[in-house]
Amino acid sequence: MPAARLIRFNKPWGVLSQFTPEGRWQGLKDFIDLPGVYVAGRLDADSEGLLLLTDDGKLQAHIADPRFKMEKVYWVQVEGTPDEVALAALCSGVQLNDGLTRPARARRLDPPPDVWARQPPIRERKNIPTAWIELAIREGRNRQVRRMTAAVGLPTLRLIRAAIGPHTLDGLAPGSWAG
């Protein structure tokens, strides 16, 4: 039996975590033409970064299922300036409408990560600074990172998943894949 295939894909903004496009959103078929691979986990169309695909159902479940607590690392550009209180709140768990989040790892990224320009660009307000934080979580609620940063007064402007467990974006331009 051949080894499981694992594909790392740098999902651009505006692409769904499915092969079929819907409405204004593109699908993965515009970037990946590999029969028999399936998405392991999700990343919203308005988020960017690492998406894993595999042809192995057990591996797919292990990556996607929060019971396995595989850490996911995000680089988040936020509106405002994160202070120690906001970072401590993210680290200890944030109360959301669906309950308290698990503790996370959070730190300010200074200097900001060296990332590609986003198309379309984020909205920026001249009077409000932006900053980047790294947030690592081990659960996967709907739009969780965006809701967590908003709960501590730092609305998300841009969200890039940088890693899932040991797998990273390293060497992948937006829209490219390896595996």
Cα separation, 8 vs 170, whole angstroms? 10
Determine how many CB atoms are found less than 10 A away from the CB of residue 167: 16
Are 169 and 162 contacting, i.e. CB atoms less than 8 angstroms apart?
A: yes
Q: Which of 30, 33, 44, 114 is catalytic?
A: 44
Beta bridge partners of 51: 9
Cα separation, 13 vs 10, whole angstroms? 10
Are 161 and 47 contacting, i.e. CB atoms less than 8 angstroms apart?
A: yes
**3-class SS of residue 142:** coil
Are 149 and 76 contacting, i.e. CB atoms less than 8 angstroms apart?
A: yes
Beta bridge partners of 75: 134, 160
Chain-centroid distance of CA 33 in Å reads 22
Are 21 and 27 contacting, i.e. CB atoms less than 8 angstroms apart?
A: yes
Q: Is 65 a catalytic residue?
A: no
By annotation, the residues acting in catalysis are: 44
